[in-house]
């Protein structure tokens, strides 16, 4: 299998062609932003799982010119950090894995603006991405030289600490890329103008880095051949940049696409197709003679194997798939494909939590970022555990409890497992969820859980079973507003609409423009329905959904041609459709079906009845608090972990 053949990047020999892609490790560093024991555990788990090289998230090389996010990321701007980086190198090397330290020269216009006392910097004055009303200031020539010196010093310190290679963060609209792009670089001195000028900062940085690295420490450059936006770089210029980087002595090119304006394509949402960026990698590979590293939804084993075997890339970099399952490489190498915990591309725990200043983790793997603290401890006594509900919370609670040594039974009233995940996975644009249902069901069986389908869990039945502990994961019930007409047969929930073979009629009104309502509207539109989507707030998806998912679903809504009415509330469901309040004016909308995307509410009546009879009860998932798959999986994991 070519994916697991040895390969080289410069003088660095790798045991296989699987890399852990660089990603932000928010919340995992020491208080001084050094490489903490917790962060070392995080990377070590992926090295132990079989990756050929670990590419770290960006380490900051200069904190004098930027505040914001630069003050939260790992640092390599002082010898203070070298000892802990050396410990990380040693830990990774124990598993015949190489450590590649990604270094950043800065964030520029994509830096945090709120509560940042330092004005953002860039190649020239340009609007900040997160606050377009705030402009960056142009770096002086002296400051550019300072950044080059800081970067080279970081390379030298990293070499002494024992890293196997360094990667330059030159992609995605970060500071180096801002200099390279005519969209953001409007300078009229030697660092602007034509491509020679716009590449000058990059070339100086690479020359200084090579001097610090010496001839044998590989330098990888991560860059963007195509920004995917109007005015941004297109592929022709991207390939010319690739050739110039090769001529400058770069040992490998790590190819990415897009920028913050289309961040859902840089870090693909679940709506994006697999291997969406492989075309860029292939084009770059045809233009240069040095190794190429590709990323972007390559986590399906057959895809990862094929893109390498077909010569489209030399290496596959996996980010989120290795958060979901650190043992992905070893499981693929040994043929244990059914045991791979699949990434669902939701971006909730890996990306969304970062914007909330919470530690990096994973929706489907709560151990991520807590490899030591949340490690499962064998049970010290035998308990009979009954899990009620076969959705994500129940399946995870059952699996974890069984792995710890408890005797576990799971009752599910439906004829299949998965809970609301089954409805969520119906649209073809959410097919990433389907493997998770299969995985969670299979792992519960493999852990020894006794599963009983078509089983109603009444208080009497539970008492008769006499479990020592009950985990209630019975889900939630539809929450409806108090408006007339909701008892009509034309009114459906989002679950009803997803599970229906075909929603009746040609015209559908979806009430509620949150994530679930938007997904339902797109699904029905793709079935050929004429869909109107109403949302009482001024914009769609107002519920705090992470930026990538929000960008992705709004793009699908726009492409579907759905009529969208924001600032609009449903007043009554009628025989002809529904009456809505649109900015204070009533309007009747014709509809053969009305889908209420008004959310769900918990039901803890069974919990209360069981607790009254003295049964120890854990509540997990939507019946504790209706949320998303992450909330359900994490609740189930911890219920099984701490009981």
Asked if residue 627 and residue 582 are part of one domain, the reply reads no
pLDDT for res 608: 85
DSSP code string of 66-128: --GGGGTS-B-SSGGGHHHHHHHHHHHHTTT-EEEEEEES--GGGS--TT--SPPEESS--B-
Instruction: Answer whether 10's CB lies under 8 Å from 323's CB.
Output: no
Range of the domain at 293: 2-11+18-355
Reported pTM = 0.96
Instruction: Tell me the CATH number at 142.
Output: 3.20.20.70
Q: Beta strand pairing status for 491-493 and 476-478?
A: unpaired
Indicate the average pLDDT of the chain: 95
pLDDT for res 197: 98
Instruction: Tell me the CATH number at 534.
Output: 3.50.50.60
Q: What is the pLDDT of residues 157-192, one digit of tens each?
A: 999 999 999 999 999 999 999 999 999 999 999 999
Would you call 174 a catalytic residue per the annotation?
yes
The model's confidence at residue 271, banded by pLDDT at 50, 70 and 90, is very high
Q: What is the pLDDT of residues 602-612, one digit of tens each?
A: 888 888 888 87
| Domain annotation covers residue 360 | no
Q: What is the pLDDT of residues 388-427, one digit of tens each?
A: 999 999 999 999 999 999 999 999 999 999 999 999 999 9
Average pLDDT on 372-378 reads: 97
Asked if residue 93 and residue 119 are part of one domain, the reply reads yes
Average pLDDT on 561-579 reads: 96
Asked if residue 288 and residue 174 are part of one domain, the reply reads yes
pLDDT for res 504: 87
Asked if residue 437 and residue 340 are part of one domain, the reply reads no
Average pLDDT on 140-155 reads: 98
Asked if residue 27 and residue 97 are part of one domain, the reply reads yes
Instruction: Tell me the CATH number at 405.
Output: 3.40.50.720
| Domain annotation covers residue 32 | yes
Asked if residue 64 and residue 38 are part of one domain, the reply reads yes
pLDDT at 452 > cutoff 90: yes
pLDDT for res 545: 87
Q: Give the SS3 label for residue 190.
A: coil
pLDDT for res 229: 97
* Packing angle, helices 37-48 and 82-93, rounded to 10: 20
Instruction: Answer whether 540's CB lies under 8 Å from 557's CB.
Output: yes
| Domain annotation covers residue 377 | no
* Domain end residue (candidates: 311, 340, 355): 355
Asked if residue 450 and residue 307 are part of one domain, the reply reads no
Asked if residue 452 and residue 306 are part of one domain, the reply reads no
Choosing from 43, 81, 171, 174, the catalytic residue is: 174
| Domain annotation covers residue 221 | yes
pLDDT for res 330: 98
pLDDT for res 494: 95
Asked if residue 465 and residue 319 are part of one domain, the reply reads no
| Domain annotation covers residue 175 | yes
Calculate the dihedral angle through the C-alpha atoms of 117, 122, 126, 132, rounding to the nearest 10 degrees.
-40
pLDDT at 483 > cutoff 90: yes
Instruction: Answer whether 599's CB lies under 8 Å from 626's CB.
Output: yes
Task: Provide the 10 A C-beta neighbour count for residue 478.
Answer: 15
Q: What is the pLDDT of residues 35-56, one digit of tens each?
A: 999 999 999 999 999 999 999 9
Q: Give dist(CA 521, CA 529) in Å, integer.
A: 9
Q: What is the pLDDT of residues 316-338, one digit of tens each?
A: 999 999 999 999 999 999 999 99
Asked if residue 428 and residue 337 are part of one domain, the reply reads no
Q: What is the pLDDT of residues 345-374, one digit of tens each?
A: 999 999 989 888 899 999 999 999 999 999
Instruction: Answer whether 346's CB lies under 8 Å from 363's CB.
Output: yes
Asked if residue 167 and residue 210 are part of one domain, the reply reads yes
pLDDT for res 609: 84
Cα-Cα end-to-end distance for the chain: 43
pLDDT for res 114: 86
Report the share of the chain in percent with pLDDT over 90.
90
Radius of gyration of the chain (CA): 26
pLDDT at 444 > cutoff 90: yes
pLDDT at 543 > cutoff 80: no
Residue 9 sits at φ, ψ, to 5 deg, of -120, 105
* Domain end residue (candidates: 355, 373, 408): 355
Instruction: Answer whether 119's CB lies under 8 Å from 137's CB.
Output: yes
Domain count, the chain: 3
Q: Give dist(CA 32, CA 36) in Å, integer.
A: 9
| Domain annotation covers residue 28 | yes
| Domain annotation covers residue 368 | no
pLDDT for res 115: 84
| Domain annotation covers residue 280 | yes
Q: Which two tokens stand for residue 432?
A: 């990433």
Asked if residue 612 and residue 539 are part of one domain, the reply reads no
């Amino acid at each position: 299998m070519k994916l697991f053949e040895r390969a080289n990047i410069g003088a660095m020999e790798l045991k296989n062609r699987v890399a852990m892609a660089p990603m932000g490790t928010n919340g995992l560093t020491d208080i001084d932003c050094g490489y903490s024991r917790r962060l070392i555990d995080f990377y070590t788990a992926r090295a132990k799982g079989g990756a050929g090289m670990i590419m770290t998230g960006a380490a900051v090389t200069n904190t004098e010119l930027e505040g914001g996010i630069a003050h939260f990321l790992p640092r390599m701007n002082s010898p203070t950090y070298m000892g802990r980086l050396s410990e990380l190198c040693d830990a990774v090397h124990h598993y015949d894995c190489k450590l590649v330290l990604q270094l950043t020269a800065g964030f520029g216009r994509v830096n945090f603006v709120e509560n940042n006392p330092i004005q953002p910097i860039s190649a020239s004055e340009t609007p900040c991405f997160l606050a377009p009303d705030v402009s960056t200031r142009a770096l002086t020539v002296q400051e550019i030289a300072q950044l080059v010196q800081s970067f080279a010093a970081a390379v030298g310190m990293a070499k002494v600490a024992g890293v196997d290679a360094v990667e330059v963060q030159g992609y995605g609209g970060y500071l180096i890329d801002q200099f390279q792009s005519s969209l953001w670089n409007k300078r009229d001195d030697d660092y602007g103008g034509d491509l020679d000028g716009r590449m000058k900062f990059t070339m100086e940085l690479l020359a200084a880095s090579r001097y610090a690295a010496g001839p044998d420490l590989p330098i990888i450059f991560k860059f963007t051949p195509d920004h995917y936006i109007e005015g941004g770089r297109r592929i022709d210029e991207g390939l010319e940049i690739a050739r110039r980087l090769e001529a400058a002595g770069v040992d490998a090119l790590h190819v990415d696409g897009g920028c913050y304006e289309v961040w859902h394509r840089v870090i693909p949402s679940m709506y994006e197709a697999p291997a969406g960026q492989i075309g860029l990698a292939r084009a770059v590979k045809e233009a240069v003679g040095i190794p190429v590293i590709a990323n972007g939804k390559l986590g399906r084993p057959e895809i990862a194997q094929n893109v390498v075997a077909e010569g489209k890339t030399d290496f596959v970099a996996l980010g989120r798939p290795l958060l979901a399952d650190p043992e992905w490489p070893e499981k693929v190498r040994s043929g244990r494909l059914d045991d791979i915990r699949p990434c669902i591309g939701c971006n909730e725990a890996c990306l969304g939590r970062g914007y909330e200043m919470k530690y990096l983790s994973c929706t489907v793997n709560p151990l991520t970022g807590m490899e030591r603290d949340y490690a499962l401890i064998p049970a010290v006594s035998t308990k009979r555990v009954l899990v009620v509900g076969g959705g994500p919370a129940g399946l995870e609670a059952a699996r974890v409890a069984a792995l710890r040594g408890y005797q576990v039974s799971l009752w599910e009233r439906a004829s299949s497992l998965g809970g609301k995940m089954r409805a969520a996975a119906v649209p073809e644009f959410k097919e990433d969820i389907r493997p998770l249902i299969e995985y969670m069901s299979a792992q519960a069986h493999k852990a020894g859980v006794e599963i009983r389908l078509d089983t109603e869990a009444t208080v009497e039945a539970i008492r008769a079973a006499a479990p020592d502990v009950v985990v209630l994961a019975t889900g939630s019930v539809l929450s409806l507003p108090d408006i007339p007409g909701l008892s009509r047969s034309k009114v459906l929930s989002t679950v009803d609409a997803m599970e229906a073979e075909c929603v009746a009629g040609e015209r559908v009104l979806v009430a509620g423009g949150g994530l679930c309502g938007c997904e339902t509207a797109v699904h029905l539109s793709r079935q050929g329905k004429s869909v109107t989507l109403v949302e009482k707030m001024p914009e769609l998806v107002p519920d705090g959904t992470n930026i990538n998912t929000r960008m992705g679903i709004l793009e699908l809504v726009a492409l579907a041609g759905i009529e969208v009415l924001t600032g609009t509330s449903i007043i009554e469901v009628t025989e002809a459709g529904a009456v809505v309040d649109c900015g204070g004016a009533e309007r009747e909308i014709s509809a053969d079906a009305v889908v209420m995307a008004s959310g769900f509410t918990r039901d803890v009546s069974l919990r209360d009845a069981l607790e009254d009879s003295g049964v120890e009860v854990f509540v997990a998932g939507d019946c504790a608090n209706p949320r998303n798959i992450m909330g359900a999986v994490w609740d189930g994991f911890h219920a099984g972990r701490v009981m």
